[in-house]
């Protein structure tokens, strides 16, 4: 968890730094403006210049967008690692077949090759069963309870890793929308102030700056929020399916151990 906290902190700092650099030196490149020195009048065909005059909230929104894409990439990599080398839909029937045959060593070997969350949980359950299998001081029910307890403990350690950083995506979605709306309000204030000060002869440049600030902040804020929400729901659905597979594999392991191993011991 400490490593993840450090990773999150680094991502946040770098995202805002990169966002500011993009705003100041890419969007604010003098070649994007009619007045290169003051950079207040963007060229009519320069989207970058129009984005630049969106104001100081633009780099904040750029930073939030960079964070969204970073955590999306991190979740894809983490879930891919948690899945393991093979498709779980194909792996679980193989494990079930070996369990039905009573071949725990083959299951352990398969889990070692597979790696990932489900494989770790099954391997831990089998390892614990092997430790207590020949313990005559424990009844069959106690042995099953030991295996169940181990599976639950490992599941509690593995499951949070699947959900890690998802709350950040949902938080960014909310913040991005609010920051975008704030930029919209500030842009409209600037436009109305220009109208109030200049009346009918208000500077077109002043009006365009205010309107640009309002529209680009809205676009960046809502755009970032949409991407964050879509992928938050996508990853949440992935985690739910993963959790279901974990429960299915754990239950199948316990039932097989009870029936094929402990059941025989109990009848002795």
pLDDT number for residue 99: 83
Q: What is the pLDDT of residue 90?
A: 82
In this structure, the answer to whether residues 97 and 79 fall within a common structural domain is: no
**Contact partners, residue 219, CB within 8 Å, separation at least 6:** 180
Confidence of residue 123 (pLDDT cuts 50, 70, 90): very high
Residues 75 and 187 in one domain: yes
Q: What is the pLDDT of residue 266?
A: 41
Residues 113 and 218 in one domain: no
**pTM for the structure as a whole:** 0.87
Q: How many domains does the chain fold into? A: 2
Cα 54 to Cα 51, 61, 69, 189, 201, distances in angstroms = 5, 11, 22, 13, 22
Asked if residue 238 is part of any domain, the answer here is no
Cα separation of 152 and 253, whole Å? 12
Mean pLDDT for 64-82 is 95
Determine the average pLDDT of the residues in 55-76. Answer: 95
Asked, for residue 95, whether it belongs to a domain, the answer is: yes
Q: Where are the beta strands (DSSP E) in 54-145?
A: none
The predicted pLDDT at position 268 comes to 37
105 shares a domain with 41: no
Question: What pLDDT is stored for residue 178 in this prediction?
Answer: 94
Whether 187 and 70 map to the same domain: the answer is yes
Answer yes or no: do 157 and 262 share one domain: yes
Ranges 13-27, 82-96, 221-235: which has the least confidence: 82-96
> For residues 70 and 11, is the Cβ–Cβ distance under 8 A?
yes
Domain limits at 189? 2-83+169-231
Q: pLDDT tens digits, residue range 201-255?
A: 555 666 666 677 788 889 999 999 999 999 999 999 999 999 998 998 899 888 8
Residue 241 lies in a domain: no
The pLDDT value recorded for residue 154 is 93
Residue 104 lies in a domain: yes
Does residue 98 fall inside a structural domain?
yes
Task: Give tens-digit pLDDT for 140-164.
Answer: 888 889 999 999 999 999 888 899 9
Residue 100: both structure tokens together: 């039905």
Q: What's the pLDDT tens digit per position in 180-203? A: 999 888 888 877 776 766 655 555
Let me know if residue 201 belongs to a domain: yes
Q: Provide the mean pLDDT of the chain.
A: 87
- Are residues 180 and 223 both part of a single domain? yes
Mean pLDDT, residues 103-123 taken together: 91
Indicate whether 3 pLDDT > 90: no
Q: Are residues 53 and 157 in the same domain?
A: no
Q: pLDDT above 90 covers what percent of the chain? A: 50
CA distances from 18 to 11, 169, 226, 230, 237 (A): 10, 19, 21, 24, 31
On whether both 15 and 135 belong to a single domain, the answer is: no
Please indicate, yes or no, if residue 239 is contained in any of the structural domains.
Answer: no
Q: Are residues 74 and 101 in the same domain?
A: no
The verdict on 156 and 209 lying in the same domain is no
Question: How far apart are alpha carbons 123 and 114 in whole angstroms?
Answer: 11
121 and 17, same structural domain? no
Give the CA distances from residue 116 to residues 35, 88, 113, in Å, rounded to whole numbers and listed in that order: 57, 10, 9
- Whether residue 237 is contained in a domain is answered as no
The predicted structure's pLDDT at residue 1 = 66
């Amino acid at each position: 968890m400490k490593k993840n906290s450090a990773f999150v902190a680094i991502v946040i700092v770098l995202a805002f730094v990169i966002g500011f650099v993009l705003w100041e030196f890419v969007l604010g490149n003098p070649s994007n403006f009619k007045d290169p020195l003051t950079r207040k009048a963007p060229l009519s065909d320069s989207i970058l210049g129009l984005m630049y005059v969106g104001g100081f909230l633009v780099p904040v929104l750029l930073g939030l967008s960079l964070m969204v894409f970073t955590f999306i990439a991190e979740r894809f990599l983490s879930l891919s690692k948690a899945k393991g080398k093979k498709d779980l839909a194909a792996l679980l029937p193989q494990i079930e077949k070996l369990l039905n045959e009573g071949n725990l060593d083959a299951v352990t070997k398969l889990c070692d090759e597979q790696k990932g969350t489900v494989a770790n949980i099954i391997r831990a359950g089998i390892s614990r069963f092997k430790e207590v299998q020949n313990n005559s001081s424990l009844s069959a029910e106690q042995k099953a309870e030991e295996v169940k307890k181990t599976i639950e403990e490992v599941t509690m350690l593995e499951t949070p890793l699947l959900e890690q950083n998802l709350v950040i995506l949902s938080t960014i979605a909310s913040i991005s929308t609010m920051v975008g709306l704030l930029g919209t309000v500030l842009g409209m204030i600037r436009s109305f102030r220009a109208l109030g000060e200049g009346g009918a002869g208000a500077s077109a440049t002043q009006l365009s700056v205010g309107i640009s600030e309002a529209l680009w902040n809205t676009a960046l804020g809502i755009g970032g929020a949409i991407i964050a929400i879509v992928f938050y729901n996508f990853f949440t659905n992935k985690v739910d399916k993963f959790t279901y597979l974990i429960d299915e594999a754990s239950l199948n392991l316990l039932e097989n151990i009870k029936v094929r191993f402990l059941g025989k011991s109990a009848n002795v």
